[in-house]
Structure 1
Amino acid sequence: MTQDWKQPRSTDHGTATHGSLAASLVVVLGICVSVAWPTRAVASQALAQKYACVACHQPTAKAVGPSWKDIGARYGEGKGTAAQLAASIKAGSSGKWGAMPMPAQAQIPDADLQSLAQWALDGAK
């Protein structure tokens, strides 16, 4: 009695391995892509909450300070850089958006300031 079902054919084995490897690669790349981009947005939203930026800034409506949308419109699309906006957040300002001053946020680490600034420039998406 032969047991052909236990031994893969050489042509089937190569094709199955190649297909399995390709499928695994597609899955890994898909996971990396789907995880990498949203993570930045989620992390930036989390940073905005962590540092209480959301107390003065809302997604689309002016509150105490300008909305994320308005900040992105004023400084995004090449009108400013994340480094410039991060420096402005860190130092604070007055008169840029009305009478209410933006208090200095020097306690926020530079890397987080950069992430927040880039997120705002990207439209807080």
Structure 2
Amino acid sequence: MTVIAIAITVATGHAALAVDAPAAFSPADAMNIAGKNACMGCHAVDRKIVGPSFQQIAAKYKGDAQAQARLETKVRDGGSGVWGVLPMPSHRTMDGADIKAVVGWILAGAPSK
């Protein structure tokens, strides 16, 4: 479940919308899930392998309120054209909660702790 938090900045009077990662995820769990689902065969935390690093993905989608849902779909269905010509294969057998956890971890900058 995605948690949506609304913070109101009293000093400026502006509202900000932040989308947090799934509540029951830890970086160690997400890294384990990514490893078990072949994500690490094409991606690394901090360097490009076949696909972009998880940190590059986090930077590209920083501030994008739709990124969590869009990347969950991309992991499940696969895709191409955003990072080059090589397609990312679909992961249709990957559990939806696992996809949410991994995408949330990636968008958080793929922290190790």
Using the size of structure 1 for normalisation, the TM-score is 0.65
Q: Which consecutive aligned stretches of 4+ in structure 1 deviate over 4 angstroms post-superposition?
A: none
The structure with higher relative contact order (CA 8 Å, sep 6+) is 2
Q: How does 1:1-125 map to 2 (within 5 A)?
A: 40-78=26-64, 80-125=66-111
- Listed as ranges, the gaps of 5+ residues in structure 2 are 1-22
Secondary structure of 1:83 counterpart: helix
C-alpha RMSD of matched pairs (Å): 1.6
Offset, 1:76: 2.7
Which one has the bigger strand percentage?
2
Which one has the bigger helix percentage?
1
- Alignment partner, residue 16 of structure 2: none
- Alignment partner, residue 34 of structure 1: none
Q: Which structure's CA Rg is the greater one?
A: 1
Q: How many residues align?
A: 88
Offset, 1:52: 1.2
Percent identity over the alignment is: 34
Using the size of structure 2 for normalisation, the TM-score is 0.72
- Listed as ranges, the gaps of 5+ residues in structure 1 are 1-36
Q: Letter of the aligned partner of 1:108 in structure 2?
A: M
